[in-house]
Every structure is written in C-alpha cells, then in structure tokens.
C-alpha cells in the first residue's frame, strides 16, 4: 500500500513538471514516504532527515516532504525533530502533495494530517490521480483502505483508519483501462481483502435495498477482474485467515487468470499466542483452510507472515509455531521479530516482553525450518515447464533475465536476446535455490503491448 502511495506521489510530482532523478544533488524535492509497521522505520527516518538537513540548507529552493503512516502517527514529532521538513502529510491526503509543496513555498513549513479518510479519498477513486508505475506490465489496484480488525501488534488501523471498500464498478473501470493500456497483471490490494464489500453491502441494506447480498463480494470481484480482456494474471494481498471462505478458493480455482499463489498470514502457531494477538482463528482452523485451499487449487504456492517473540510467547508456544510451520510447508515466509508499536495493545504488555536475545535465537531457529521448506518447494519444481513474465535483467548476471512464475517465484535464465519487460515466455526449470529458480528459455509466448514507459525511480 505504501509503495502504491509512492507511485501516486511520483505521478503527482511529474504532472507538476518535476522529473525523477537518482542524483540527490540535482533534486529540487525529496519525498520520504514512510511506513511505520516496524520499529526500524522510525530510527531510519530520523537518521535520514538528520543527514538531509545539509542538503536542504544548501539551496533555499529545495524542499523535503515526509508522507505516509509514520508521518500520520508522529505528526508533531517529525516537526519537532526535523523542523527543516517543508511538508508533513499523512495517509489520507496524498492527493494534496503538490498543493502543499507550492503552498509551503510562500507560507513556510506545513503539517497537514487528516484523521479519517474523506469520502472521495484518492485511494477509493484513484483514477483521478496520476500514477508513475514502477512496473509497466503490472499494476496495483486498491480495492479497500483501512482495517476494522484489532490485531494487538498492528498499527495499521490507527494510521489507515476504518475499513472502506472501493465501489465494485469503479475497480472494474480502472482495471479495464489498465488492461487497455497493456497491463496484463493486476495486483489487488487491501488490508483484509476477504472482507471487501462488507461495508458496501451493509450501507445498501441500511438504505433499504434488501436485494444486496451481505455475503462477502471478494470472490465476485476476483471473477470479474479476472474476466476482463487482456488481464492474464490476478494476484491479491492480503487475505485474513479468519475471513477466508470457500467461495474465494473456488473463484481462484475457476478463474484461469487468478494465479496459484496464496499469501496466508499465520503470525503464530500457538492458540494462546493467536488469542493474545486477537487474530480470531485457531491453528486448527488455519490448517483446515490451508488443506482446503490446496485441495481446491492445484499447484498452489502458499506464503505467510510470522512473528516471533510476541509478548508472553513461551518456549512451548514457539515450538508449536515451528511445528505448524513445518506442517504447513510454506513456499516462503516473511519472518519478523516482534517490535512494539506505540498505541497498540501489544505495546502495553511490557511485563510480558520477551528477552531480545531469546527472540533473535527463536528467529534463527524458525528461519531454519522455513528455509528448509522453501528449498524443498523449489526443488520440487525442477523439470517443470513454467510460464514466466520477464521482469528485467538479472542483478547478479546481466546476461540472464529474471522472470516471475504464476506461483510468484523468481526464475533466472539466459536468453540469446534481451526480451522486453512484460514478455511472457515458457521456461524449463533446471535448478533451484532458496530464493530463486534457474531455468532454460523454451519459447516466447506473448510480447508486451503496454504503451507506458518503464518508470525507474520511486519517490
Ligand atoms: S488484519 Fe490485523 S494485521 Fe492486518 S492490517 Fe488489520 S489489524 Fe493489521
């Protein structure tokens, strides 16, 4: 979500006449679009702002913007610790970036944070805003903002607000326009996509329209997006295990363009810890749904998020997490060490905080389990023929290309010619490592048709 906001800010600046540059010395404006999900971001921000003071002071025309959810959370703190910042804005007024920059030139530093999403929030009706996409063939599409859950460790509801779904037809209009411009892969974004539409249905029923189904509409959305001509791949992130339903799995199975990849955040493998986290599901329910997902969708890759060291986590709880992770056989996982986010329920559990040394030891132990499973999953693909979309040259070997499979796995392969980003090809998998596969190009199946140029810089 944060990266998608960066694309919008970059699009707005570009529309205002600015050009992207990788060279700080040539820049007139630097935007730091923050994310406060993890503690490290705070430390990094203030360190970076400290070093940027010299850059800002060297030319009175230079401006600095701090945007994003850390700015939303720490609005006054950013101003106090870095008074040389020109504009501080939050998650609900990204659309105001250029106006605030121009205003700050005459009035001096500005802080503008909205506490709630406005009705015509840019994220709900984003077509009104320009976007400078990082990738030419793939586009993020916001379907929902905010979150109504209360996960004890999570700052998102505080900085992104209540859950608001974007109107169904509005999403389809954007996807149709993207597909018409040559985008072939759509990535649907929301904090809890399975509950997409719940607020829309309830609002309609409150208004007296009983014909509107209260049942979640995410499955219908997946089918509708996947059926738009030109859309070849559909992905989404993130579903919440407590809201994962059979109709979503069926929609994934029956909609050819929906990729065989499910990001399914477990967070912990102990019922005690899950309850303390307020996650709303048990391990058994999670695993049952996982079995059903794999049974419904052939060749499904499953990735997850896990937190070690949640307050009160005992060694026995942690061992259960390792066992569940081994049972689940994830393709890969984002593994985090718990860090308290001010204002969350977990941050107040100070008497139950785990020892930092214990947390990092648990991190390393769980990583062994996850790495083992990832390598096995990758090795199982050797000998298979995969459809990949070319993402560009391999970073390690410029003679190789890098592509991504439908299961979201990276594949590096040599190519006699430099295929354009967005090209579809068939590749035989010949080797596997923890983070990538190695392949042999068999044939190009479709050339990119996108008319937008490839963006190279994020804000
Ligand atoms: S579902 Fe939980 S973890 Fe995800 S955004 Fe909402 S509160 Fe945070």
- DSSP annotation string for 355-424: PHHHHHHHHHHHHHHHHHHHHHHHHTTTT-EEEEEEEEE-SS-TTEEEEEETT--EEEEE-SS-PPTT-E
pLDDT digits (tens, 9 = 90+) for 278-299: 999 999 999 999 999 999 999 9
Instruction: List, by residue range, all CATH 3.30.750.210 domains of the chain.
Output: 135-256
3-state SS class at 149: coil
Instruction: List, by residue range, all CATH 2.40.50.140 domains of the chain.
Output: 385-446
Predicted local confidence at residue 455, as pLDDT: 34
H helices of 61-193, where? 69-73, 75-81, 97-107, 156-160, 168-180
Instruction: List, by residue range, all CATH 3.40.50.12160 domains of the chain.
Output: 2-112
CATH code reported for the domain at 260-380: 3.30.750.200
Q: Which residues contact 348 (CB under 8 A, 6 or more apart)?
A: none
Which residue, 279, 337, 343, is CA-closest to 72?
Answer: 343
Predicted local confidence at residue 329, as pLDDT: 97
Predicted local confidence at residue 126, as pLDDT: 56
Predicted local confidence at residue 211, as pLDDT: 56
Among the residue ranges 20-34, 127-141, 258-272, the one predicted with the least confidence is 127-141
Alpha-carbon radius of gyration of the chain: 23
CA dist., res. 36 & res. 156, Å (int): 8
Report the nearest atom of ligand 1 relative to the CA of 267: 3
Q: Does domain 2-112 have CATH number 3.40.50.12160?
A: yes
Q: Is the pLDDT of residue 145 over 60?
A: yes
Report the nearest atom of ligand 1 relative to the CA of 240: 1
Q: Is the pLDDT of residue 1 over 90?
A: no
3-state SS class at 119: coil
Q: Is the pLDDT of residue 149 over 80?
A: yes
CA dist., res. 387 & res. 379, Å (int): 17
Q: Is the pLDDT of residue 382 over 50?
A: yes
Pocket of ligand 1 (CB under 6 A): 147, 149, 151, 154, 156-157, 191-192, 240
Task: Determine the distance separating the centroid of ligand 1 and the alpha carbon of 344, expressed in angstroms.
Answer: 11
Pocket test for ligand 1, best of 191, 306, 339, 345 (most atoms within 8 A of CB): 191
3-state SS class at 88: strand
Q: How far apart are the first and last CA of the chain?
A: 14
Phi, psi torsion values for 361, nearest 5 degrees: -65, -40
pLDDT digits (tens, 9 = 90+) for 180-229: 999 999 999 998 999 999 888 766 666 666 555 554 599 999 999 999 99
Q: What tokens does 410 get?
A: 């990276």
User: Degrees (nearest 5) of the Cα angle 387, 414, 401?
Assistant: 65
Residue 114, CB-side half-sphere exposure with 13 Å CA sphere: 14
3-state SS class at 430: strand
Instruction: List, by residue range, all CATH 3.30.750.200 domains of the chain.
Output: 260-380
Which residue, 351, 331, 325, is CA-closest to 340?
Answer: 351
Q: Name which residue sits closest to atom 4 of ligand 1, judged by CA.
A: 191
- Rounded to an integer, the average pLDDT of 35-61 is 85
Grade residue 450 by pLDDT with cuts at 50, 70 and 90. Answer: low
pLDDT digits (tens, 9 = 90+) for 387-440: 999 999 988 888 899 999 999 999 999 998 889 999 999 999 999 998 999 999
Task: Determine the distance separating the centroid of ligand 1 and the alpha carbon of 156, expressed in angstroms.
Answer: 6
Predicted local confidence at residue 451, as pLDDT: 54
Among the residue ranges 82-96, 154-168, 202-216, 326-340, the one predicted with the least confidence is 202-216
Contact call for residues 137 and 187 (beta carbons, < 8 A): no
Among the residue ranges 212-221, 319-328, 346-355, 413-422, the one predicted with the least confidence is 212-221
Predicted local confidence at residue 458, as pLDDT: 32
Predicted local confidence at residue 397, as pLDDT: 87
Contact call for residues 217 and 262 (beta carbons, < 8 A): no
Q: Name which residue sits closest to atom 2 of ligand 1, judged by CA.
A: 151
Report the nearest atom of ligand 1 relative to the CA of 160: 5
- Pick 385-446's CATH classification: 3.40.50.1000, 2.40.50.140, 3.10.450.50, 3.40.50.300: 2.40.50.140
Task: Determine the distance separating the centroid of ligand 1 and the alpha carbon of 201, expressed in angstroms.
Answer: 21
How much of the chain, in percent, has pLDDT values that exceed 70?
92
Relative to beta strand 437-446, strand 400-405 is unpaired
How much of the chain, in percent, has pLDDT values that exceed 90?
67
Q: Name which residue sits closest to atom 8 of ligand 1, judged by CA.
A: 154
Task: Determine the distance separating the centroid of ligand 1 and the alpha carbon of 409, expressed in angstroms.
Answer: 25
CA dist., res. 22 & res. 457, Å (int): 7
Q: Is the pLDDT of residue 355 over 90?
A: yes
- What number of other Cβ atoms are within 10 A of residue 207's Cβ? 8
Task: Determine the distance separating the centroid of ligand 1 and the alpha carbon of 271, expressed in angstroms.
Answer: 18
Predicted local confidence at residue 203, as pLDDT: 64
Cα distances from 57 to residues 52, 66, 82, 283, 298, in angstroms, run: 9, 17, 12, 54, 58
Report the nearest atom of ligand 1 relative to the CA of 279: 2
Please give the CATH topology (third level) of the domain spanning 135-256.
Transcription Regulator spoIIAA (3.30.750)
Task: Determine the distance separating the centroid of ligand 1 and the alpha carbon of 92, expressed in angstroms.
Answer: 18
CA dist., res. 446 & res. 449, Å (int): 9
Report the nearest atom of ligand 1 relative to the CA of 154: 8
Predicted local confidence at residue 418, as pLDDT: 86
Please state, rounded to an integer, the average pLDDT across all residues of the chain: 89
Q: Is the pLDDT of residue 127 over 70?
A: no
């Amino acid at each position: 979500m944060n990266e998608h906001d960066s694309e919008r800010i970059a699009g707005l600046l570009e529309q205002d006449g600015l050009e992207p540059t990788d060279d700080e010395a040539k820049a007139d404006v630097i935007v730091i679009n923050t994310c406060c999900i993890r503690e490290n971001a705070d430390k990094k921000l203030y360190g970076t702002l400290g070093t940027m003071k010299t850059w800002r002071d060297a030319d009175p025309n230079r401006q600095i913007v701090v945007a994003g959810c850390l700015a939303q959370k720490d609005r006054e703190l950013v101003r106090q610790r870095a008074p040389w910042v020109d504009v501080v804005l939050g998650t609900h007024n990204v659309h105001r970036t250029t106006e605030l920059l121009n205003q700050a030139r005459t009035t001096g530093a500005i802080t503008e944070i909205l506490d709630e999403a406005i009705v015509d929030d840019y994220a709900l009706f984003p077509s009104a805003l320009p976007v400078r996409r990082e990738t030419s063939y793939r586009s993020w599409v916001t379907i929902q903002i905010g979150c109504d859950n209360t996960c004890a460790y999570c700052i998102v509801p505080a900085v992104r607000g209540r859950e608001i779904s974007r109107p169904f037809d509005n999403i389809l209009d954007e996807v149709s326009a993207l597909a018409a411009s040559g985008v072939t892969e759509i990535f649907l974004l929301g904090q809890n996509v399975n509950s997409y539409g719940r607020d829309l249905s309830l609002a309609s029923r409150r208004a007296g329209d009983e014909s509107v189904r209260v049942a979640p509409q995410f499955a219908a959305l997946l089918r509708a997006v996947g059926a738009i001509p030109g859309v070849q791949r559909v992905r989404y992130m993130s579903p919440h295990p407590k809201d994962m339903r059979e109709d979503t799995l069926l929609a994934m199975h029956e909609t050819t363009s929906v990729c065989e990849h499910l990001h399914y955040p477990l967070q912990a493998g102990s019922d005690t810890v899950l309850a303390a986290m307020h996650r709303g599901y048990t391990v058994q329910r999670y695993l049952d749904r996982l079995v059903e997902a794999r049974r419904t969708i052939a060749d499904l890759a499953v990735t997850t998020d896990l937190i070690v060291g949640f307050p009160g986590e005992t060694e026995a709880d942690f061992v259960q997490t390792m066992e569940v992770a081994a049972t689940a056989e994830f393709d890969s996982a984002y593994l985090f060490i718990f860090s308290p986010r001010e204002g969350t329920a977990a941050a107040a559990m100070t008497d139950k905080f785990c020892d930092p040394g214990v947390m990092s030891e648990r991190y390393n132990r769980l990583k062994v389990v996850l790495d083992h499973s990832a390598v096995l999953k990758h090795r199982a693909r050797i000998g298979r023929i995969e459809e990949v979309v070319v993402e560009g040259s391999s970073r390690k070997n410029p003679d190789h290309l890098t592509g991504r499979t439908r299961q979201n796995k990276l594949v590096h392969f040599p190519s006699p010619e430099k295929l354009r980003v967005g090209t579809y090809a068939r590749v035989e998998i010949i080797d596997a490592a923890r983070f990538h596969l190695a392949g042999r190009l068999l044939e190009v199946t479709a050339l990119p048709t996108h008319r937008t140029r490839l963006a190279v810089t994020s804000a």
